[in-house]
Structure 1
Amino acid sequence: MNEKSGRGAAGRAPVPPPAGPDAGRTRLGLCSVTYRRLPAIEVARYAAHAGLEVIEWGADVHAPAEEPGAVRTVREASDRYGLACCSYGSYFRATPGELAGFPAVARAATLLGAERVRVWAGATGSRYALPEQRHATVRCLREAARIAADHGLGLATEFHGGTLTDSLASTVRLLDEVDADNVRTYWQPPLDTPDEEALAGLAELVDRVAAVHAFSWWPGNTRLPLADREGLWSAALGLLAGRGVEALLEFVPGDDPAVLTREAATLRRAAARTPPGRT
């Protein structure tokens, strides 16, 4: 969220966090892209069985914005298993050619009952983006934020290589440039970044994080059990405690549904900051 005092380009204040005993609590969930080969009803069933409470439905397979019938089916799967949709994982990259399609993305997110839309910050890394490319992405994100706000939605950028959020400095700069109250960012540990360095970056960004994508890759994109980097996730979720974010499991080892309960237990332990070996 923009830390400036004004309302910003979107023109509306963000939806306030929930009140009561759950205010500020970290909710645990799943990104549906983890099991993109499974039907939505199976994804929801596995998530519920693992004790997860929220889900980010992806637009690539399960809930395409241009297929309202499929989106309704996904919403029914969520409702059947008592899962809240915290986010709609769109692949909107905030380029001028895509902007006309964003109202359909916002409508799909609303149909899912999502709280926000996850988007990508352009299609070029910050080191290689020309000034006019960066300006175009900022303009598109501002307009998407306005449309999202009109639907009661937040917007959050993927924290990812090959985009304008591929580094801490560029992410902070981008959020400042967009200057919209309903725009925040996701976070995930950058590839091949040691724990201490990744956590230092999160500490700088912490007030602007909406959710995290939780996985354990090392080296490169070698998928390990989450427990192999449990120290990282205990520290990361400790930094985010009390801020009302979601921690969403993504890309588990082998894309195996059978390991989800184990991975969820590790994430739950990390969120509670209990010592390894306890559930």
Structure 2
Amino acid sequence: MTRFRPGLCSVTFRTLAPRTVVRLAAECGIAGIEWGGDVHVPPGQPDFARHVRRLTEDAGLSVISYGSYIAPPSDDEQAFATVLETAQALGAPNIRIWPGSRNRDSATYSPDERAHAAALIRRMARLADAVSVTLGLEYHPNSLTDERASAQRLMAEIDDPNVFLYWQPRPGLPLDEALDEFRAVGSDTSHVHVFAWDREKTRYPLADQRDYWTEILTNAPATRWPGERFAILEFVRDDSPEQFRADAAVFRQVLEEVQLSEEDKARPPGAA
């Protein structure tokens, strides 16, 4: 049975200090935070990472992941070693990375370029595994995971048990297609990014896509991911804390409904 806990990507509020992000998340019933490496927890600053970890844990929240901006093959193992050190200081059990050069479609890669990226990710995965940290590949347009076939091929090329896929639908992806895609890659997925956008990336209240996300999370496929699983809110309308408060309330209701649905499925026939 899949149980998602509510999370927040700190990059949703890049202009807010970590202390303020923690307070907002705790106020809204969020259970954990994925801390971004671009603003809130820069790589190479382990003392500050330990400070953010204390802020998070003192509020009763989990550090879900370190949202790094490592992008192999643009970034090498030396850059990853700095990120890994920072993730450990942060207490992050997972590091999110971008597979491939940023803002490059998977269709433009030659077989040799793909093989090089996969080999780099595999070596990073081995470094991370040595300190009990997992890797999650961003599932995103303009990357080596920008569509189902390329994502599946990349995971086969990497062929490492310490590498997982984050999953999120491409903005505006119809529900039937999103469900088919999630089922196809689901066994390799860890966490799920949740947002309410359309194809033009216009943002909406989560309430507008409540039924969409209820269907997706209710039908989440089985996964080999061994840890706690989070559905992680990101990028609310207007970057507004007030919109986030409203979205978080809807989000928690959706997760409660999903949990009840899962419990109903697991109950033996005829049980009360």
Give the TM-score normalised by structure 2. 0.88
Is 2:22 the partner of 1:38? no
- The offset of 1:99, in angstroms, is 2.1
Is 2:50 the partner of 1:75? no
Is the Cα–Cα contact under 8 Å of residues 47 and 260 in structure 1 kept in the other structure? no
- The counterpart of 2:233, out of the listed 249, 258, 269, is 249
Equivalent in the alignment of 2:264: none
Separation in 1, partners of 2:75, 2:174: 37
Equivalent in the alignment of 1:258: 242
- The offset of 1:74, in angstroms, is 1.2
Aligned counterparts, 1:1-279, within 5 A? 24-95=2-73, 97-123=75-101, 124-240=104-220, 244-273=228-257
> Which ranges of structure 1 fall in alignment gaps of 5 or more residues?
1-22, 275-279
Change (3 A) 1:197 1:24: closer
RMSD across aligned positions (CA): 1.6
Structure 2 counterpart of 1:119, one-letter code:
I
Separation in 2, partners of 1:241, 1:29: 19
Separation in 2, partners of 1:242, 1:122: 27
Structure 2 counterpart of 1:41, one-letter code:
R
SS, match of residue 177 in structure 1: helix
Structure 2 counterpart of 1:253, one-letter code:
R
- The offset of 1:98, in angstroms, is 2.7
Separation in 2, partners of 1:100, 1:33: 24
> Which ranges of structure 2 fall in alignment gaps of 5 or more residues?
259-272
SS, match of residue 164 in structure 1: coil
- Identity over aligned pairs, percent: 37
Give the TM-score normalised by structure 1. 0.86
Separation in 1, partners of 2:199, 2:146: 18
- The offset of 1:239, in angstroms, is 2.0
After superposing on structure 2, the runs of 4+ consecutive aligned residues of structure 1 that deviate more than 4 Å are 241-244
Structure 2 counterpart of 1:127, one-letter code:
A
Structure 1 counterpart of 2:13, one-letter code:
Y
Equivalent in the alignment of 1:18: none
- The offset of 1:241, in angstroms, is 7.4
Is the Cα–Cα contact under 8 Å of residues 47 and 89 in structure 2 kept in the other structure? no
- How many residues get paired? 252
